[in-house]
Amino acid sequence: QVQLVESGGGSVQAAGSLTLSCEVDGGNVEIACMGWFRQAPGKEREGVATSDRWGTTTYADSVKGRFTISRDNAKNTLYLKMTSLKPEDTATYFCARRDSWSCGSGKRSDFHYWGQGTQVTVSS
């Protein structure tokens, strides 16, 4: 059974930074597509960033140039470094794992395992 546990969320002022972590137990981060999603109150869960087996990354237009997805294979951990945060980045952030080397379309339905989420609140 694959389990994902996010951490690193919190409250920060606009223009600040946070780094989220996602520890994966029971599944190898190195060989899988991994992703970060977020869900704001009253909104659909949306993709933020993905990273495939070969290190190819994708980002939502709203976070390009500000967020960076990375992984530490030795620690079996996925990260999301967030800089220049904006109030509209406020959401619960989820990490996800897909049972495939590639990320496919990167849609929510493509991922098989999910963490419980960590809250990020950005104040103006």
Using alpha carbons, select from 111, 84, 107 the residue that is nearest to residue 95. 111
Q: pLDDT value at position 10?
A: 97
- 108-114's contacts with Cβ under 8 Å and 24+ in sequence apart are 108/37, 108/45, 108/47, 110/33, 111/33, 111/35, 111/37, 112/2, 113/2, 113/3, 113/4, 113/27, 114/4
What is the DSSP pairing of strand 118-123 with strand 10-13?
A: parallel
Q: What is the pLDDT of residues 25-56, one digit of tens each?
A: 987 888 899 999 999 999 999 999 999 999 99
Mean confidence (pLDDT) of the chain: 95
- Pick out the chain residues at pLDDT < 70: none
Q: pLDDT value at position 31?
A: 83
